[in-house]
Amino acid sequence: MKEITKAVFEGYTYVEGGVCAAKGFKASGTYCGIKASEIPDGNESPIKAKNDIGMVVSDTLCTVAAVYTQNKVKGAPITVTKNNLTKTGGKARAIIVNSKNANTCNADGEQKAERMCQLTADALGISPEEVIVASTGVIGQVLPIEPVERAVPVLVKELAYDGNVQAATAIMTTDTVKKEIAVEFEIDGTKYRLGGMGKGSGMIHPNMATTLNFYTTDCKVSADALQAALSEVVNVTYNCLSVDGDQSTNDMVCVLANGEAGGNEIVTGTKEFEVFKKALYIAMLHITKMLAKDGEGATKLIECRVTGAPDHETAKIIAKSVIRSPLVKCAMYGADANCGRIMCAMGYAETDCDVTKADVYYISKAGKILVCENGLGLQFDEDLAKAILSEEDITILAQLKQGSSEATAWGCDMTYDYVKINGDYRS
Amino acid sequence: MKEITKAVFEGYTYVEGGVCAAKGFKASGTYCGIKASEIPDGNESPIKAKNDIGMVVSDTLCTVAAVYTQNKVKGAPITVTKNNLTKTGGKARAIIVNSKNANTCNADGEQKAERMCQLTADALGISPEEVIVASTGVIGQVLPIEPVERAVPVLVKELAYDGNVQAATAIMTTDTVKKEIAVEFEIDGTKYRLGGMGKGSGMIHPNMATTLNFYTTDCKVSADALQAALSEVVNVTYNCLSVDGDQSTNDMVCVLANGEAGGNEIVTGTKEFEVFKKALYIAMLHITKMLAKDGEGATKLIECRVTGAPDHETAKIIAKSVIRSPLVKCAMYGADANCGRIMCAMGYAETDCDVTKADVYYISKAGKILVCENGLGLQFDEDLAKAILSEEDITILAQLKQGSSEATAWGCDMTYDYVKINGDYRS
C-alpha cells in the first residue's frame, strides 16, 4: 500500500542496496534500548524491539555535503555535525544515528552527541571529527548514553556491505515502511552508484532540509559540486514536501561521496555534473514521495502541480499552501472533490500572484476531471470525481495561466490516525 | 462544555440580547432550504432544519466599520458589501446573511449577492446600498436564489427586538453552539450597549478579519473612531485566533453604530473612545474564545501566552505558531505534556527572536507546571501535567526573557472529529 511507483529515467537503473549500493559503504543497525520504557526489567526475557541505532561507514574518507533544518531550536547533533564538518573541511568516514530520542533541548545534548562521535571513532580507529551524528525522536528528554555505549561495538562488529536494511530500520520512528533507494548510471564508460535512506513521518515541513536522510555514492565529486547538487535538488524535492506544516528541529540531509568507483572528479559546469545531479534527483524524488505517502496516518499520496506561474518560486509557494491545508488534506481523505478548499488555499498562499482565474483538475489513474474553471466552481460528474479521489495516488493540478513556470509539491491526506499517533507520542 | 467563562471588567456588565441588546436593533432568522439536498421532495412533510438565513435591521441609519479577509480569493458578498459601503460613505441599515453556501467562486456570485441586497431593500423600503450582505458555507457551488426570495418577506415580517437568537443560529455552519455576547456600560451618565454574534468553526486563521461576525451598538460613534476601534481590537482578538491555519474567503467583521442611546458623538483621542473601545474588546474577546473552543471537532480551548518578547508583533507571531501547530494540537487532545513540540513550533515561527532560552509552563485550573526551563526539557510530575492538560481550558505560557511585550493567541485541540467533519463537508 505504501509503495511508490518508480519513475522511469533513461540512462538510470534502479538497483538494490540503499546506502550500501555504492562501492565501499558498509552499514549496520541494532536495538539498544534508547527509550527507557522499552528496556526489560530484571530477569524478564528481553523484548525484541525495532532497531534504534544505526551506523554507516565508508572504507575511505568521503567528501560530504549537507543541509540542515532552519528551525531556530536545533538539535544538539546538528550543532556537533556542523562543527565536525567545519573542522575536517567537509570530510567524513562514518555516520552514527539513533531514533527514539532527538537529543534536543537537553542541557547535556552537545556533550552526548560528541560522546557518540568519540565512541564511534574509537571503535573504528578514526578521528571523532570524521563522524556525522544524528538523532530523531522525542524532544526535551535526556538521551541515555549507556545504551549507545553498549551498541557501538555491536554496530562496528556487524558492519556489512549489505547492512543497509539494518540501518534503514534503525532510523524509523513512526514510519510504517523503511525508505531506501539506489540507482546506477554511467559516465564515460565508468559505472557509478548512488543510494540513500530516509525517515519520516511527522513534523515534516522542511525548509532547506528535512528529516533524516543519508545518501552515499562512489562517484568522486568536488566539495563545491556536491554541495551545489545537493542544494539544487533539495529545493525541488524535500523542500516541496509537507506532511503537517511542522518543521523539525533535527532535519538533516547529507551526501557522502567516496570516489571508490574511480574516474575523474566531477566538478560544476560540466556534462558529468548534470548526470550526477540527475542521479541525486531521482533518488531524492523517490524518497520524498515515500516520505509523503508514509506521512503519519496517511492513506494517500497527494501531489499538487501548479503550472502557468510567473516563476518557479511562486508556483512552489502556492503548491505547498495547497498541500499543507488541513481542510484540503481532510477532503482528500474523504474523497470529497471540494474545489473551494483548493481555491481558498491558493488564495491565502503568500504570493502576489493572481490565482483567482485558475483551472483546477483532479487526476489519478481512475481519470482526470476539471472541477474549477477560470476560478469558478463547475458542476461535474460526482461519481467520476469520487472514483478519482478514491485512488491512493492523487494529483491536484492548478493551471494559473499567469506565465510558464511550474512546481510540484507532495503531501498526504489527514486521517483519524494522524490524531491518534500524535495524541500520545511520548509514551 | 463549550461554555466560556466571562472575564470580569470593572464598569462593564454582561447583558442578554446579542445583536439586539443595543437600542433600535431588530433581528430574525428562518430556514429556507439553501442546500438543495435538504429540501423535501414532493409531498413529504418539510424537514424542520436549522435556520439558514438571517437578518439584522436598525431603526435608523448606522455608521459602519468593517474588516475583511485578506485571501485573494474573495467571496462575492465581500465585494458587494465593500461596494455598498463605499457608495453610502460607510452607512447601512440592514444585514442579510445566509449559511450553507459561501457564494464564492461562482460566475453569477456578485449578481446573486446584489439581488440579496435588492430583495432586502425592497422589503424594508430602504436603498440596496444600505444593505450588508454575507454568506458562509460551501465554496464553488451556485447559490440558489429562490429560497432567498421566499425567505426575505418572512425575515422582514418576523423582525423582532428579541430576534437575536434566530439570527445567531442562522449563521451557524459546523458550529455546535450559537455565539452571542452583549455588554452594558456608561459614559457621562448615559447607558450604552454593544452586542454581537459570530460563527466558526473551521477554515479559521484570520488576517485582519475573520469568519462572520456582526456587532451592533447604540453609541453614536464617528466613522473614523469606529474603524479605528475595530482595527485595533481585531488585531488582539480575531487576528490571534487559529483553528486550522486555513484562512477563509468570506471572513468579515462589522460593527454598526446607530446612536439611538443618545449622548455625544465619540471621536478618537478621547476618554470616551477608550471606554467604547474596551466594550468592543470585551465582546470580541469573548466571541474569539467561543470560536476557538468550538473549533471543528475541538474538545478544549487552548490559549498560548507569550511574554518577555521584544515587541507585541513578535510575541503574537510566536503564539500563533504554537496554536497553529498540528502536533501541538494533537498533544493537547491527548493531554501529552510534550514540551518539545512547543519549542519546535516557537523555533519555526517567522521571527528573528531567540526563543531557544524560553521557559514553558502548562496552566489550567488543575495547577501550573514548568516543563521547559531555559529551553531545556525538565523532568516533571507527569501525573500533575496530565491532570492540568485534561482540563477543558488550557494555557501554554512561554516566557522568552527577551523583552517586556506579550501577546495571547487562541485555538483548540485537534481531534478525530476534525478529520471526520472535514472528510465530507459538502454532503
Q: How many domains does one find in chain A?
A: 2
Cα separation of A364 and A395, whole Å?
6
Cα separation of A222 and A129, whole Å?
20
Q: How far is CA B265 from the centre of its chain?
A: 27
Exposure class string for B103-135: b at 16+ Cβ within 10 A, else e: bbbbeebbebbbbbbebbbebbebbbbbbbbbb
User: In this complex, do A340 and B104 lie within 8 Å of one another by their Cβ atoms?
Assistant: yes
Contacts of A105 in chain B (CB under 8 A): 339-340, 343, 372, 375-377
Residues A217 and A327 in one domain: no
Domain extent, residue A239, equals 13-293
Contacts of A371 in chain B (CB under 8 A): 140
The answer as to whether B212 is a domain residue is yes
Name the grid cell of B109.
456570485
Q: What angle do CA A232, A282, A278 make, to 5 degrees?
A: 55
pLDDT for the residue B97: 97
Q: Which of B415, B422, B411 is nearest to B333 (CA)?
A: B415
Residues B113 and B259 in one domain: yes
User: In this complex, do A348 and B139 lie within 8 Å of one another by their Cβ atoms?
Assistant: no
Question: Tens digit of pLDDT per residue, chain B (427 long)?
Answer: 578 889 999 999 999 999 999 999 999 999 999 986 655 554 444 445 789 999 999 999 999 999 998 888 889 999 999 999 999 999 999 999 999 999 998 999 999 999 999 999 999 999 999 999 999 988 888 999 999 999 999 999 999 999 999 999 999 988 888 999 999 999 999 999 999 999 986 666 654 334 799 999 999 999 999 999 999 999 999 988 887 767 778 888 999 999 999 999 999 999 999 999 999 999 999 999 998 888 888 899 999 999 999 999 999 999 999 999 988 999 999 999 988 889 989 998 989 999 999 999 999 999 999 999 999 989 999 999 999 999 999 999 999 999 999 999 999 998 888 888 877 666 5
The residue type of B40 is P
User: In this complex, do B348 and A70 lie within 8 Å of one another by their Cβ atoms?
Assistant: yes
User: In this complex, do A73 and B375 lie within 8 Å of one another by their Cβ atoms?
Assistant: yes
Of B74, B355, B422, the CB nearest to A72: B355
State how far residue A385 is from chain B, nearest Cα, in angstroms. 13
Q: With beta carbons less than 8 A apart as the criterion, state whether B376 and A106 touch.
A: yes
The answer as to whether A6 is a domain residue is no
User: In this complex, do A105 and B140 lie within 8 Å of one another by their Cβ atoms?
Assistant: no
User: What is the enclosing helix (H) or strand (E) of B307?
Assistant: strand B301-309
Contacts of B350 (CB under 8 A, 6+ apart): B317, B321
CATH number of the domain within which B161 lies: 3.60.70.12
pLDDT for the residue A294: 87
Q: Is A167 left (phi over 0), alpha (psi -120 to 50) or beta?
A: alpha
The answer as to whether A1 is a domain residue is no
A327 φ, ψ (degrees, to nearest 5): -70, -40
Of B327, B416, B425, the CB nearest to A246: B327
ipTM: 0.78
Of B138, B249, B336, the CB nearest to A426: B336
Cα separation of B178 and B180, whole Å?
7
Give the nearest chain A residue to B427 (CA atoms).
A336
Residues A281 and A392 in one domain: no
Q: How many CB atoms lie within 10 A of CB B350?
A: 10
Contacts of A414 in chain B (CB under 8 A): 419
The answer as to whether B7 is a domain residue is no
Residues B265 and B284 in one domain: yes
3-state class (DSSP) for residue B34: coil
User: In this complex, do A330 and B423 lie within 8 Å of one another by their Cβ atoms?
Assistant: yes
**CA-based end-to-end distance of chain A:** 27
Q: Which residue has the cell 535526556?
A: A142
User: In this complex, do B105 and A331 lie within 8 Å of one another by their Cβ atoms?
Assistant: no
Residues B207 and B104 in one domain: yes
pLDDT for the residue B45: 44
CB pairs below 8 Å between A and B: how many?
222
The answer as to whether A2 is a domain residue is no
The residue type of A263 is G
Q: With beta carbons less than 8 A apart as the criterion, state whether A56 and A167 touch.
A: yes
Cα separation of B61 and B260, whole Å?
10
The answer as to whether B237 is a domain residue is yes
User: In this complex, do B139 and A324 lie within 8 Å of one another by their Cβ atoms?
Assistant: no
Of A333, A371, A426, the CB nearest to B419: A333
| Final residue before a domain boundary, out of B265, B293, B321 | B293
State how far residue B49 is from chain A, nearest Cα, in angstroms. 23
Residues A193 and A131 in one domain: yes
| Residue numbers of B annotated as active site | 210
User: What is the enclosing helix (H) or strand (E) of A63?
Assistant: strand A53-68
State how far residue B17 is from chain A, nearest Cα, in angstroms. 34
Residues A186 and A254 in one domain: yes
The answer as to whether B25 is a domain residue is yes
User: In this complex, do B139 and A343 lie within 8 Å of one another by their Cβ atoms?
Assistant: yes
For an interface test with B, give the residue of A37, A69, A73 to mutate (most B CBs within 10 A): A73
State how far residue B158 is from chain A, nearest Cα, in angstroms. 33
pLDDT for the residue B246: 72
| Residue numbers of A annotated as active site | 210
State how far residue B247 is from chain A, nearest Cα, in angstroms. 6
Exposure class string for A94-111: b at 16+ Cβ within 10 A, else e: bbbbbbbbbbbbbeebbe
pLDDT for the residue B46: 45
Residues A80 and A139 in one domain: yes
Of A244, A376, A419, the CB nearest to B416: A419
CATH number of the domain within which A391 lies: 3.10.20.340
Strand order in the sheet with B393-399: B376-377, B367-373, B359-364, B393-399, B301-309, B405-412
For A58-70, how does the pLDDT look when each residue is reduced to its tens digit (9 = 90+)? 999 999 999 998 8
Residues B176 and B52 in one domain: yes
pLDDT for the residue A259: 97
Which regions in chain A score pLDDT beneath 50?
42-47, 207-210
Residues B314 and B274 in one domain: no
Q: What angle do CA B399, B400, B405 make, to 5 degrees?
A: 85
Residues B235 and B353 in one domain: no
Q: Which residues pair with B181 in a beta bridge?
A: B196
Enter the DSSP assignment of A335.
T
For an interface test with B, give the residue of A37, A70, A72, A386 to mutate (most B CBs within 10 A): A72
| Final residue before a domain boundary, out of A293, A324, A358 | A293
Name the grid cell of B50.
436549522
CA distances from B15 to B181, B182, B183, B196, B219 (A): 8, 5, 5, 11, 16
Contacts of A423 in chain B (CB under 8 A): 330-331, 333-334, 336
The answer as to whether B350 is a domain residue is yes
pLDDT for the residue B190: 96
3-state class (DSSP) for residue B4: coil
| Final residue before a domain boundary, out of A275, A293, A311 | A293
Q: What angle do CA A224, A227, A233 make, to 5 degrees?
A: 135
Contacts of A46 (CB under 8 A, 6+ apart): A40
Give the nearest chain A residue to B375 (CA atoms).
A105
Enter the DSSP assignment of A370.
E
> What pTM was computed for the model?
0.83
Cα separation of A418 and A404, whole Å?
36
Q: Which residue has the cell 543497509?
A: A164
Q: Is A11 left (phi over 0), alpha (psi -120 to 50) or beta?
A: left
For A70-105, how does the pLDDT look when each residue is reduced to its tens digit (9 = 90+)? 888 889 999 999 999 999 999 999 999 999 999 998
Of A102, A246, A420, the CB nearest to B345: A246
Contacts of B331 in chain A (CB under 8 A): 422-423, 425
Name the grid cell of A124.
573504528
Residues A56 and A196 in one domain: yes
Contacts of B421 in chain A (CB under 8 A): 330
Q: Which of A228, A226, A195 is nearest to A213 (CA)?
A: A195
